[in-house]
Structure 1
Amino acid sequence: MSRQAINRVCCASSFWLLMGMIVFVIAPARARQCAWHQIEVAGPPARHSHAMVYDSMRGVTVLFGGLNGGNERSSVEFGDTWEWDGIQWRQVADTGPEPRMGHAMVYDSAKGVTVLFGRGESDDTWEWDGATWTKVADTGPSPRGRHGMAYDSDRGVTVLFGGIPRELGDTWEWDGVTWTKLAETSAPTGRSQPGTIYDPGPVGRSRLAMAYDPNRKATILFGGRLADGQALGDTWAWDGAVWTQLGDNEVLARSRHGMVYDDDRGVMVVFGGMKGSQLRDTLEWDGTEWKQVATSGPPRRMYHAMAYDSTRKAIVLFGGWDGTCLADTWEYRCPEETPQQEVVAKSED
């Protein structure tokens, strides 16, 4: 055998001997570090009690309405429509529904429209297709504000619960054409109606939050306020037929908060609200329990609005009230950790 051939054999043998002493280890990804980030950008005028949803077809967050002060009688209600694309805010309409606050909105993914219902004195239903607001109903639930709404994407219906006046306890569904009353879970204080059957379920309330959980195929309701001002910490699920209580956490009770479903991580996320004073904590619910995951981020506030941008995997928050109206934009993001490949020497026995 030539000397060159011998060298090649020796080198190959040394290489495979070395490889036998090395182990490549894929380290598990670390827990995702979620954090709030303020976006320094011009946008809608300061406001609270507005509503926001994410339009997944067009890739924008839609904002409508709100109030510019603390006194509902002397302050001005907004009737403008804005959209956030992750870079800038853009006003897209100043006509449509009457100016209002305390309304609720959802995004109907089957029809590709934003659905708006309510205001203190209104029982009208509107749809926004990205270009035009269209009034689609003026009958349905009684006039109300400060109610909760969520879009059930599995059944293709919008679910509504509660609101004021009188801290209502009724459940309605909108199928895109008609509102249908499905349950009355508690009699409004002093106003029970003879012959009405009140089903077990969430007590009548206002200033609650609702979002749809597609993993559990249920609309989730958390918190709110009773007529006497008490903040609630109970969690309920609506499956289209019955309400089921999933827990009650008095420590984390609140009203006037924001809540969205993070589809990427499969958790409900709550920020802020009020319990005695304004809050600034972030909560997450994994289907079993609520946990406080952050106490830093946006300043204390209530009556803000939140939406989950499923394209960019970010929660968008705008505005609110902390004693004055706010006009700041924040995003809550949880970047994925890339697994690290580590090289570990393996000793030969």
Structure 2
Amino acid sequence: MSEGTRFYAQDAAPIRYQVVSSSPHSGPYEPDNIMYDEPDNTSSRWSSAHQVSGKQWLILRLESTVVLRKLKNKHPCSMKELRVYGGLTQEHMTELLHTNVKLDASPETFSLRHTNRSGHTFPCRFVKIVPLAAHGASFNISIWHIAFSGVKDEEAVARIMKSYDEHREETVMRHILRHLRQRRLLTPLQSILDRTAIDFEHPVVTKLHAAVVVEGDWTQAEAVMKSLSLENCFNDYLRLSPPRILWSYLGGPCESSPVGRAGHAMCIDSSKRTVYVHGGWDGTKCLDDFWSYDIDSEKWSNISVSTSQDKNGPVARSCHGMVFDSVNGTIYLLGRLDSEGAQSELDSTSTSGQAGHTNGEPAPNGSSHGMSDTTSPCSEFYRYHTRGVDAGTWQLLTFDTTTLGGPPLIFDTQMLIDEQSQIVYVIGGRLVDAADKPPRYSGIYSYDIRASKWKAHDLADNSRAPLRSGHCAAFDPWLRSIFVFGGQREDKHLGDMFTYDICTNTVSVMYTDGTQTHTKAFGRKSVIDFDLKEIYSFGGLQQGSTEDEMQVLETCSIYRYDTRPGVWLPSTPYRPPVVDNRRRDVEEPAARFAHELVYDSGTKTAYLLGGNPGQSFVAPPREPNDDSAQDSVRLGDFWNMRIVRLTKDDVLRQATFHIRCQQFRELCLTGQSSVKTLEFLQTNVSTVVNHEDPAEEKLFRSLLMHLLDISDGQEEAPAANDTVKPASPERWTSSLDDVIARHHQDPRETADPLEPAGQATSAHLFAQRNQLFESLLKFLDETVQQPGGSLLDLVDTSSSGL
């Protein structure tokens, strides 16, 4: 944390500003209007002259140099999306905010970024606002009033400014040092280091450069990488490396396991290593069977053929919720759609209108909305005991939860449990009520297990947490927060995420619709690992390329929320290592939605069962020319999923592979026999190659071709370096290499006096080694190595200035 941030304990003060320039405006709606807070004056706003998104802008000069903290948009505004930039000058600004703006009369306040990646606070004097999109495609963008707040105390800002200037000075000097070392100017590099107290890089990284670039000591280079591993310098690379998904097939439907289904409910008892499954839709009817799966013995047990026949047991249903309370060994069950009076109208991807009804299972139909005319639409609430004297029995806690302040009858909801506080949460879901057009959605309810009481949570700002169904929800007991994302509302697929703080009853937006790469979908399922601050999401149904097309997803995405607003990471299948030159086939579940996913946090393993494959799965017809099988097929396959992550040993293997590749290239140039170099390739290089990695496999094969070229006497192709050559002699370029070649000797052609005597290398070999060193730096934390980027990128191609 930088020195300046300690001043932020004080309350932020309002910041005055002036509009210094803008893009053209429309009629009397001048830019200066945004400085005045006049909500009753319809002319007191700025409006763009054009409707071209991203081409409008306003530049504001603040009253003094300040540290911005907040931006407030206080009145209705047709602006849907905007970016905000800030800096000390108009020419050099950095992005402070990228967000969406809601379309209503409520004021909005946005936090502005005021620290850089290294944690140093930076001041601002100018702000640039760039509207990107309007809520209506045929309307010009309007802004009524914008206000800023921040730290403007002169003494505080002066200290922040001093600290920031020192940071900039040190950063520039570190870039210069990097540039000198890349140009083989080791003597001036060392002279600067001797005269200053600049922390250029970790001392072990300096040893790595000496071993790789200066001395070509490959044994020492490998030893230094091991030292860096012991110093825990690979953490950033390990954290940011895309995780790999390892699926294992546990079996399919048979007489001793659940039949294919979707819209079922599932929960897990991690302490007893048991998975429970109830109900669902098999393509023709709702189910009421009840199963358990013993993870250790890998066997299913049928607890009940029909819970509707059990005393106090639930009737057949789908699209309901179920959670397990490990403290008391009980299961809670709520919500339903049943098959009386329902037709499977929607099933998957046939039409977009029907696909908006449910999580994939029986669509509401007629006057009963999935209920028969004789069935009372009451919201029953059940508890099942797995331990103690009541083990194996159902208890009907409430015939209708609405009579006790609980949720109405809903489906496509999410149930979570806070075991520490003994509270069950019911998040969202669609009401089973055919009379409502458009449909209605449930909010957030909680059930206190100890007090046997329901509570409705009225949010202060529902607009930031729109009600929905078919969404995902996950609870982090350490943060005391519930994450809600995705789903649908009427015919709209949602792509936002918000958190609900159960202690303060407040909502915080993690990201708005369209600002993350995560796919908008409903019918996805997710689980959380709160120790790792990760959410795993699989499958779902999303809008296709046309309005009438729906697409079933097969991807597994991982969301990391250790920093705000978090980030979705792509995942790739884990490919087991090659054994005896034989590759194992990779197993993966088919695309689906309306499946179920549970997570064992102790073993870091997720379990997936069933689902609706939509049109991505082809089932054999029951009879010749019978197409009904395709409409009714439901999956019954059972899988487990583990996240395979890189380890420090994996990083060391990759680094060793790159080091030995360069060692092999140089062996080819020493005049040793082809037999010895080939033996080195087979015994030293091949043993550290991941042959399942296409990039490593390609590089390894290129080494053999390199040996053959050398053996045939062909000239070695020059390696790529860090400069760009012109495409032709006539093309103008400001490349430093060309300037040096025309006027001066390239310093990389001559050994530096600090290089060991008798170990001078050619410029070509120096470039190869330097490229290897740069590639090894990608494994290291940013805090221990030289700065990234190049000084050449700071030179403006249109002038000689910066």
Q: TM-score interval w.r.t. the shorter chain?
A: 0.7 to 0.9
Q: What residue in structure 2 maps to residue 265 of structure 1? A: 532
The TM-score normalised by the length of structure 1 is: 0.79
CA displacement at 1:325 relative to structure 2: 0.5
2:299 to 56, 76, 88: 88
2:288 to 68, 79, 82: 79
Q: Secondary structure at the match of 1:220?
A: strand
CA displacement at 1:243 relative to structure 2: 2.1
Name the CA distance, whole Å, in 1 between partners of 2:560 and 2:380: 35
Question: Any conservation in 1 of the 2:594–2:611 contact (CA below 8 Å)?
Answer: yes
Change (3 A) 1:55 1:62: same
CA displacement at 1:46 relative to structure 2: 0.3
Question: Any conservation in 2 of the 1:151–1:211 contact (CA below 8 Å)?
Answer: no
Matched, 1:128 2:384: yes
CA displacement at 1:208 relative to structure 2: 1.1
Query: Which amino acid is the alignment partner of residue 175 of structure 1?
Result: D
Name the CA distance, whole Å, in 1 between partners of 2:464 and 2:334: 22
Matched, 1:234 2:460: no
Q: What residue in structure 2 maps to residue 283 of structure 1? A: 557
Q: Secondary structure at the match of 1:233?
A: coil
* Match runs of 1:175-254 below 5 Å: 175-176=448-449, 177-183=452-458, 199-227=462-490, 229-240=491-502, 241-250=505-514, 251=517, 252-254=519-521
**Aligned residues between the structures:** 310
Name the CA distance, whole Å, in 2 between partners of 1:339 and 1:290: 23
Question: Any conservation in 2 of the 1:35–1:332 contact (CA below 8 Å)?
Answer: yes
Change (3 A) 1:246 1:82: same
CA displacement at 1:339 relative to structure 2: 5.1
Question: Any conservation in 1 of the 2:258–2:291 contact (CA below 8 Å)?
Answer: yes
Name the CA distance, whole Å, in 2 between partners of 1:167 and 1:148: 16
Cα deviations across residues 132-189 of structure 1 (Å, max 9, x unaligned)? 222112222111111122112343211112212324142100112121111268xxxx
1:333 to 642, 649, 653: 642
* Match runs of 1:1-349 below 5 Å: 25=227, 33-42=244-253, 43-69=257-283, 75-86=284-295, 87-94=298-305, 95=307, 96-120=313-337, 121-130=377-386, 131-138=392-399, 139=401, 140-165=406-431, 166-176=439-449, 177-183=452-458, 199-227=462-490, 229-240=491-502, 241-250=505-514, 251=517, 252-263=519-530, 265-276=532-543, 277-287=551-561, 288-294=566-572, 297-323=588-614, 324-335=633-644, 340=649
Higher relative contact order (CA 8 A, sep 6+): 1
Query: Which amino acid is the alignment partner of residue 384 of structure 2?
Result: W
CA displacement at 1:286 relative to structure 2: 1.1
Question: Any conservation in 1 of the 2:246–2:644 contact (CA below 8 Å)?
Answer: no
Question: Any conservation in 2 of the 1:78–1:101 contact (CA below 8 Å)?
Answer: yes
Question: Any conservation in 1 of the 2:414–2:471 contact (CA below 8 Å)?
Answer: yes
Question: Any conservation in 2 of the 1:64–1:79 contact (CA below 8 Å)?
Answer: yes
CA displacement at 1:56 relative to structure 2: 2.5
Q: Secondary structure at the match of 1:290?
A: strand
CA displacement at 1:122 relative to structure 2: 4.1
Larger fraction in strand: 1
Question: Any conservation in 1 of the 2:496–2:511 contact (CA below 8 Å)?
Answer: yes
Name the CA distance, whole Å, in 2 between partners of 1:122 and 1:304: 25
Query: Which amino acid is the alignment partner of residue 298 of structure 1?
Result: P
Q: What residue in structure 1 maps to residue 76 of structure 2? A: none
Question: Any conservation in 2 of the 1:106–1:150 contact (CA below 8 Å)?
Answer: yes
CA displacement at 1:205 relative to structure 2: 1.3
Name the CA distance, whole Å, in 2 between partners of 1:184 and 1:103: 24
Q: Secondary structure at the match of 1:123?
A: coil
Cα deviations across residues 52-109 of structure 1 (Å, max 9, x unaligned)? 111124221111110011xxxxx21111111122212221123221110010111223
Q: What residue in structure 2 maps to residue 6 of structure 1? A: none
Q: Secondary structure at the match of 1:66?
A: strand
Q: Secondary structure at the match of 2:424?
A: strand
Name the CA distance, whole Å, in 2 between partners of 1:234 and 1:338: 32
Query: Which amino acid is the alignment partner of residue 605 of structure 2?
Result: A
CA displacement at 1:37 relative to structure 2: 2.1
CA displacement at 1:310 relative to structure 2: 2.6
Change (3 A) 1:260 1:167: farther
Structure 2: gaps of 5 or more residues? 1-222, 308-312, 338-376, 387-391, 432-438, 544-550, 574-586, 615-632, 657-755, 757-802
Name the CA distance, whole Å, in 2 between partners of 1:337 and 1:209: 28
Change (3 A) 1:219 1:209: same
Name the CA distance, whole Å, in 2 between partners of 1:333 and 1:151: 23
Q: What residue in structure 2 maps to residue 18 of structure 1? A: none
Name the CA distance, whole Å, in 1 between partners of 2:290 and 2:596: 14
Change (3 A) 1:64 1:160: same
The TM-score normalised by the length of structure 2 is: 0.36
Change (3 A) 1:219 1:319: same
Change (3 A) 1:337 1:253: closer
Change (3 A) 1:59 1:122: farther
Change (3 A) 1:57 1:136: farther
Name the CA distance, whole Å, in 1 between partners of 2:542 and 2:571: 18
CA displacement at 1:112 relative to structure 2: 2.5
Structure 1: gaps of 5 or more residues? 1-21, 70-74, 186-197
CA displacement at 1:337 relative to structure 2: 6.2
Q: CA RMSD in A?
A: 3.0
Name the CA distance, whole Å, in 1 between partners of 2:634 and 2:378: 24
Question: Any conservation in 2 of the 1:272–1:280 contact (CA below 8 Å)?
Answer: yes
Change (3 A) 1:62 1:113: same
CA displacement at 1:206 relative to structure 2: 1.1
Q: Secondary structure at the match of 1:102?
A: coil
Name the CA distance, whole Å, in 1 between partners of 2:557 and 2:317: 29
Change (3 A) 1:257 1:278: same
Q: Secondary structure at the match of 2:571?
A: strand
Query: Which amino acid is the alignment partner of residue 92 of structure 1?
Result: I
Name the CA distance, whole Å, in 1 between partners of 2:421 and 2:495: 27
Name the CA distance, whole Å, in 2 between partners of 1:40 and 1:85: 13
Name the CA distance, whole Å, in 2 between partners of 1:325 and 1:214: 34
Larger fraction in helix: 2
Change (3 A) 1:292 1:153: farther
